[in-house]
Copies of this chain bind each other. A is one copy, B any other.
């Protein structure tokens, strides 16, 4: 029996290449390819897919949310996350969202088909390097509001911009940014944004 696979990745070229690569496997059949996370759950249901392979970074609905949607819509379908960046926090978030596997795009190509098979058979697949780092960095120390404000600051706006966007006073925004900077270890706002991003603590 073949494994029915749905692939979602925002880069068409990567998506196509992955589909072609995995389609060569005798026991894997690619039944759908998506460019964003929004339609993944529906596609999984429509094609009775066994495994959904999702990129974390996608426009619209991100991969983590898409994973949760898939689990809700089709509990029997396993989710394998594939991501470009090995942000430690992503792993934890993905697992909490119900993903069964998590590999980075640096994974040798031939191991990918094997990962799909393991996930399909109910095993968990986690990139070993990533698992180690994940234990290191642990949960995000940021509160919801701190993360929200820091995220709003990530495009370089002023305190006033952020305050307006988040419906907070400027003083409060400064407080949150200050707290976030202390927790992330950054000495400036911009550095904290970068650090939090690298840890996978934002989105």
Q: Are A191 and B105 in contact (CB under 8 A)?
A: no
Interface residues of A in 180-203 (CB under 8 A from B): 186-195
Chain B nearest CB from A176 CB (Å) reads 17
Q: For A14, list chain B residues within 8 Å (CB).
A: 14, 17, 105
**Chain A contacts to B: CB under 8 angstroms:** 11-18, 20-21, 24, 82, 84, 104-110, 112, 153, 155-158, 186-195
* Oligomer: number of copies: 2
Residues of B within 8 A of A157 (CB): 187-188, 191
Give the nearest-CB partner of A107 in chain B.
B13
Instruction: Choose among A12, A16, A153 the residue with the greatest number of B CB atoms under 10 Å from its CB.
Output: A16
Given A11-B84, A189-B190: A109 and B17 interface contact (C-beta under 8 Å) = yes
Q: Give A147 Cβ to nearest chain B Cβ, in Å.
A: 17
Q: Are A12 and B188 within 8 A (Cβ)?
A: no
* Shortest distance from the beta carbon of A49 to any chain B beta carbon, whole Å: 20
Q: How far is the CA of A192 from the CA of B112 in the complex (A)?
A: 39
In the assembled complex, 19 residue pairs joining A and B whose CB atoms fall closer than 8 Å, in A order, are A11-B105, A12-B105, A13-B82, A13-B112, A15-B109, A16-B109, A17-B17, A20-B20, A20-B21, A20-B24, A155-B194, A156-B191, A156-B192, A156-B194, A158-B187, A158-B188, A189-B190, A190-B190, A190-B193
In the complex, what residues of B have CB within 8 A of residue A194's CB?
A: 155-156
